[in-house]
A and B are shown apart, each in its own frame.
Chain A
Amino acid sequence: MPDRPNPARVVADADVLAADLFVDGDARAALDHVRRHDWVELVASDELLAETEVLVASLANSDLAAAHRERLEAERVLVEQPPEDHPALASAYRGNAAHLLTYEEGLRSAKAGLTLQPRVSVSIRSPDAFATLFDPQSLYEAVVGGSYSGPDRDPLE
């Protein structure tokens, strides 16, 4: 396992991916940061996308769930995971991601953090915390190098 997670790699839990789709709120603000910058990567295993697809289909319909999954598949960094592992945590661990966005209180609790810390060095945050704290300028300088010139993609395309 690499020593340090990649600060430009983000995992969004299934509830955050669904909230991004359905609600113009914190989850979308957080993932807009990812979509605006081609050097920031969304990491997801097939298991995480499958969980998201089931959730979206349950809330809406299978057509929208499939279209959403297709778009996510086109943009994500694919990682493999053991099938029994928590999809979002496994995606973060296997993808060496520094950030995991979730609404699941258990994952964000101190107990979860302590339990996971030896295996997964990832910052587990709510989408609103990530959206507020995301600093593209300092991150760009650290990850890419040079001076940050602003977003390089349209998050709506």
Chain B
Amino acid sequence: MTDALTWQDLFERGEAVGVDLETIRTTRERLRAEATEGGARDDA
């Protein structure tokens, strides 16, 4: 795993996206809801 980026490289790329904590939380909730709905459809 010698070609993995450093944390500094990853942080620079991550911060450049401009995402805030609230967006992370709401996106996570949306993905969870979509996954749950998808699972429910699969079970039906």
Contacts and interface: CB of A to CB of B under 8 A. Distances in A.
B interface: dominant SS: helix
B31 interface: yes
14 contacts: A14-B28, A15-B25, A18-B24, A18-B28, A19-B24, A22-B20, A23-B20, A24-B15, A35-B7, A55-B27, A67-B5, A67-B10, A73-B1, A74-B1
A64 B12 CA distance: 11
Contacts of B23: 59
Interface of A: 14-15, 18-19, 21-25, 28, 35, 51, 54-55, 58-60, 64, 67-68, 70-71, 73-74, 103, 155-157
Nearest to A52: B28
A58 B31 contact: yes
B19 to A, nearest CB: 4
Interface of B: 1, 4-8, 10-11, 13-15, 17, 19-21, 23-25, 27-28, 31
B19 A71 contact: no
Contacts of B6: 156-157
